[in-house]
A and B are shown apart, each in its own frame.
Chain A
């Protein structure tokens, strides 16, 4: 199956397969002694569905669970892996590691691993967009989870975006887990959508494991923001299939609940849909998986071959050039 002949739905499947393979490789790296990461396994449809609805003029803010957003945006898995391994060919020269990767060239700006940090900065990026700093008509999407929705800054950001009429898409990946605490212990059910609606935002709650449903909702929200300049809110209901970070034995996770969500794996769901529609054959799926696996193997080789940063550069980039100690 050639890349050129693929439908958008197939591309979305391939993007999700690539994200999954990338993160599985990171899990393998961690078992080999590399730093652990916060994976987005199980949440791939959220990233692929929303990011695919954005244009290059749009900006993205994300968080510690960012790999899916970055890869969906077109980030090179090799440079991402190099960053996770702390090598100079990483997007941030190895200074970020997995937790705060941003890639200005891709419009993935200001990634914060402080839960809610991305929400605090997003209105400012949208304000700059509105005041003419970016490309005309560009909007901003900010990704966060149900944990961030429990932070006070969630409400401050939503309130300001509404009051200042900012072109901002809030994307809450409600994955039921806030580090090691289940959401049922921290908030009433359906609270996120209600809280957002309470701030006067149009809200859509969507099955976050159905990439086509996510994509359709995101397209609608993005078009609405571009049309009237007002913020929108998407709640994507999904589930964190792996632990908070690697390694995590998930001993605290209810096995039945986990099994129910594993049965709703977003990759399998999209593959089944396309197989049923006849737009994907079993052999095509194997071919897709092989293509993705080959890319990830090449990426891993690139990252492992990348040099370590020069320790003499330790304090480079702390201050801007005119600064005293940069």
Chain B
């Protein structure tokens, strides 16, 4: 194992995949400026600075992907993806299907999002559910350095377009990354970060850390929480979530993104439609508000689910069950 930051893990993944496959090229606003070693190793043809124009960066990636290349594009901040929506949603996501499978679009669109840098709503907006809703796209949002490396490598090798989100708050966080020559984490597999039998906490990206903190606090109160890190939002690893839910009967979903039509809503629906018989309490969603991200540190932090809120939610769930049992005993 080697200790490195998320940023370093991403860089290693890019370098290794460019080394492994000469069809991989990197395009975006400043990729050559910021990664001179990749320019030196792989040439300016494969590491390309672009105009500051997200629509044409993404469109060019779509055209190149359909024509035999495997582009990775860096669109910087997630809100900028809205400029790239036509290329990603209408072209990359639909033209494989509309062409009857004649074309494939092996491309990765990277961007950063999330609170912690006080950059405000036009640089911080958790848009992952929008892309999960678009057919043909895969969506990845890792939480550990090892997964940033392994999932990015898998995304580059995938023959489908992948939208790859990096939580800003994790960029400089360190983690252990396996030293093995080819550390690849398959898309579509969640990770159980902590095992417990009383409640299932489901999350991804930075809020996985919030859930782990909450689980630690709950342990001190004699409550065993299971923590699931989705890692890939689409395809969604329903199996791992349902397996946990059948054990615990209680689900808390924690996301920094807002709740309406979001991943938390999808997981609540999963529980309601596929595990209703085992639910021992209503599903709880702890999400960001339906509000743009504020810049002020205090307001930015106020929008986030906290470990304390998770603990409180879990205690509430368990309390409801206790009250229910008492009522049953008294009747």
Interface set of A (CB-CB < 8 Å, partner B): 59, 61, 90-96, 100, 102-104, 109-110, 112, 114, 116-117, 119-129, 131, 133-134, 152-153, 156-157, 159-160, 163-164, 316-325
Contacts and interface: CB of A to CB of B under 8 A. Distances in A.
Contacts of A323: 138, 158-160, 235
A120 B89 CA distance: 13
A109 B235 contact: no
B56 interface: yes
B62 A322 contact: no
Given A120-B59, A159-B51, A318-B136, A324 B87 contact: no
Residue among A104, A122, A319 facing the most chain B CB atoms (10 A cut-off): A319
A117 B91 contact: yes
A322 B186 CA distance: 11
Interface stretch (B101-109, B276-284, B287-295): B101-109
A320 B96 contact: yes
A103 B95 CA distance: 12
B58 interface: yes
A320 B66 contact: no
Contacts of A133: 23, 67-69
A127 B63 contact: yes
Residue among B55, B56, B86 facing the most chain A CB atoms (10 A cut-off): B56
Given A121-B62, A125-B67, 5 more contacts: A110-B103, A120-B59, A122-B63, A131-B25, A318-B96
B221 interface: no
Contacts of A321: 159
11 contacts: A92-B98, A104-B99, A117-B91, A120-B86, A133-B23, A156-B51, A157-B56, A317-B99, A320-B159, A323-B158, A323-B235
Residue among A103, A153, A320 facing the most chain B CB atoms (10 A cut-off): A320
A120 B138 contact: no
A325 B158 CA distance: 13
A117 B90 contact: yes
Contacts of A100: 95, 98-99
A321 B104 CA distance: 10
A320 B63 contact: no
Residue among A96, A125, A316 facing the most chain B CB atoms (10 A cut-off): A125
B242 interface: no
Contacts of B45: 131
A14 B218 CA distance: 80
Interface residues of B, number: 46
A323 B188 CA distance: 9
Contact of A59 (B67, B69, B97, B235): B67
B102 A92 contact: yes
A321 B97 CA distance: 12
Interface in B68-103: 68-69, 71, 86-87, 90-91, 95-103
A120 B100 contact: no
Contact of B63 (A104, A121, A159): A121
A116 B103 CA distance: 19
Contacts of B8: none
A309 to B, nearest CB: 9
B65 interface: yes
B171 interface: no
Contact of A120 (B56, B158, B188, B235): B56
A96 B100 contact: yes
Contacts of B101: 93, 316-317
A325 B61 CA distance: 23
Nearest to A105: B102
B100 A124 contact: no
A94 to B, nearest CB: 8
Contacts of B25: 131
A120 B87 contact: yes
B67 A124 contact: yes
A92 B138 contact: no
Contact of B100 (A159, A317, A320): A317
Contacts of A129: 67
Contacts of B138: 319, 323
A146 B34 CA distance: 38
